[in-house]
Amino acid sequence: MKIFKKKKCKICKTKTGTRFCMRKGFDICWEDCNILRVDEQCPNECEYHLQSSEIMQLKGKSDSQMEYIDLLKKQMALWITKPQKIFNDQIPITMAESSEGKKKIEEFLNQFKINPIVPLNYLKERLSLDELKVDSTPKTYEDHALEFMQHLYTNEWEKVTSFMINNEYWQSNKLNDKFVARIAANKVIKKISSFDLISSALTKEKDQALVYYDVNNKYDLTINLKLINNSWKVRSIIIGKPELFNSESEAIQQVAILLSKNESTKAYELLKKYSSIYISSSDFEYYWGLYYTFTKNQKKAEYHFMHAMILDPTFIEAKYNYAFIQHSNGELKQAKEFYYEILKDAPNEPKTLNNLASLLIDEKNYKEAEKLLQGCIKNNPDFELAKQNLERLEKVKS
Residue ranges in contact with Zn ion by CB under 5 A: 9, 11-12, 15, 29, 32
Q: Specify the residue, 9 or 160, whose C-beta has the smaller distance to Zn ion.
A: 9
Q: Specify the residue, 21 or 290, whose C-beta has the smaller distance to Zn ion.
A: 21
Distance CA 296, CA 365 (A): 32
Q: Specify the residue, 15 or 19, whose C-beta has the smaller distance to Zn ion.
A: 15
CB of 37 to Zn ion, least distance (A): 13
CB of 159 to Zn ion, least distance (A): 30
Contacts of 89 (CB under 8 A, 6+ apart): 83
CB of 75 to Zn ion, least distance (A): 19
The number of angstroms, rounded, from the C-alpha of 212 to the middle of its chain's C-alpha atoms is 10
CB of 355 to Zn ion, least distance (A): 60
**E strand or H helix at 221:** strand 219-228
CB of 33 to Zn ion, least distance (A): 8
Q: Specify the residue, 29 or 386, whose C-beta has the smaller distance to Zn ion.
A: 29
SS3 call for 219: strand
Number of residues written out for the chain = 398
Distance CA 354, CA 387 (A): 9
Q: Specify the residue, 33 or 188, whose C-beta has the smaller distance to Zn ion.
A: 33
Distance CA 115, CA 201 (A): 18
Angle at 36 between CA 77 and CA 16, to 5 degrees: 115
Distance CA 195, CA 149 (A): 8
Residue 353 in contact with residue 372, Cβ under 8 Å? yes
Q: Specify the residue, 35 or 256, whose C-beta has the smaller distance to Zn ion.
A: 35
CB of 12 to Zn ion, least distance (A): 3
Sheet holding 195-202, edge to edge: 195-202, 208-215, 219-228, 231-238
CB of 280 to Zn ion, least distance (A): 31
Q: Specify the residue, 39 or 177, whose C-beta has the smaller distance to Zn ion.
A: 39
Distance CA 301, CA 292 (A): 5
Burial of 212 (0-12, 13-18, 19+ CB in 10 A): buried
Q: Specify the residue, 106 or 196, whose C-beta has the smaller distance to Zn ion.
A: 196
Distance CA 262, CA 258 (A): 6
CB of 28 to Zn ion, least distance (A): 5
